[in-house]
Amino acid sequence: MPGIPELAAMPDGRIRLYLSQSLISSDGGQTWTVEEGHFIPSGADPSLVALPDGSYAFFYKGFSGQPDNPPPGQPEQPQLPTTPTGDFMPCSGYGEPLDADQNQIGPWASRLMIAFSSDGLNFTSAGQILADQADVPDVLVMPGGEIRVYFVTLCPEEVRNQIVVAVSRDAANWTYHKTSITGMEGVQPVAVDPTVEFTPDGRIRLYFTSAAASPDAVLQSYSAISDDGYTFEMESGARFGVAGRPVLDPTVLQIGDTWHYFGGGQPGINYHATSPDGLNFTRQDDLKMDDFLFANGIAVEGGYRYYGFIQQPRSAASAIYSVFTTDGQNWVLEDGVRLTLDESSPLEKIGVKDPGVARLPDGRYLMVYSTLIPEYPYDEP
């Protein structure tokens, strides 16, 4: 069996495809030439990672001395999975509202879709559904190239209104896993709106929305820490809150030596705070940028880019844009639109929003975004 292919952009502009052999293309993947050599066993699922020094690390599965091809008359060895067996499968289609009426939009009506870009600016939808009844995604690429998408789901029931993670090696085949947070005493046992960042020591910090365990508590941002990205331990105290006002959808990015926090809760306004350690944040002036709402930030050449969306007034229609900074304080709305609704697609409706973006080992940019499930009975007001 051929296994899962790996695509890699070469420094000279060509594209190389790895399987048991390698193929090279000079015209953007329209035509391919097989290169000499048969360099790894069939089904080894190669993965190429560009290293900071300009060299490459090459990973593939071994088969404990098994021959590449089975002896005549013998069946092939079963292919090993590239990711652990999943904990659940996401549902298909929309679900029942969560403490809301059917004419409102929420995770029960939301679909996560996948898009790609070669430059981080011009994205094209892949027409691939990651999950239904799911929302607020964030993407993390592990040191070995594994792709993880953290999001909130409402279905199946065993993970209703919980943070879960989709895992892949190729951004095409996914398994779905539960997460857990221990030590949530003193706060409500609900964690939503995930964003994940690596800490300087290589652990994974999860920022999320919850509230203190009291009847009059308002939503604010908390964090938990993990060695593996699945089992988290709650960190003491809240990361950010505003007296008397709910704070939603935290997003955090390290810019230079400073951690920058952004949060929502008021239309068109982004709460902004800074921290030297990612734990103790000091509120800064709120950011208002043509109703742009911050969703997910990454480091890019020459600075930092935050992806977000702008929603039309009195409408659910939205499109994805980006802002750029070199210092975290001065932001500029970049020209053009990163992604708009594909009105010809039967998979999305009304608008696109809540982008989570990361750069893959092959140089492409992966975007996971939210849209409305078209069959959901919602009409624009």
Can you give the residue ranges of every domain in the chain? 6-59, 107-372
Cα–Cα nearest to 271, from 208, 206, 221: 221
Rounded distance between C-alpha atoms, residue 321 and residue 333, angstroms: 8
Cβ–Cβ < 8 Å for 252, 263? no
Q: What is the pLDDT of residues 116-153, one digit of tens each?
A: 999 999 999 999 999 999 999 999 999 999 999 999 99
Quick one: pLDDT band at residue 260, thresholds 50, 70, 90?
very high
Which fold would CATH assign to domain 107-372? Answer: Tachylectin-2; Chain A (2.115.10)
DSSP string, 49-100: EE-TTS-EEEE----TT--SSPPTTPPPPPPPPSSPPPSB----S----SSS
Query: How many other CB atoms sit within 10 Å of the CB of residue 359?
Result: 16
Q: What is the pLDDT of residues 143-177, one digit of tens each?
A: 999 999 999 999 999 999 999 999 999 999 999 99
Worst-scoring range by mean pLDDT, 85-94, 225-234, 296-305, 344-353?
A: 85-94
Helix H segments across 209-353? Answer: none
The mean predicted confidence, pLDDT, of the chain is 87
Q: Which residues of 66-88 are buried (b: 16+ CB within 10 A; e: fewer)?
A: eeeeeeeeeeeeebeebbeebeb
Rounded distance between C-alpha atoms, residue 325 and residue 216, angstroms: 38
DSSP 8-class letter at 35 = P
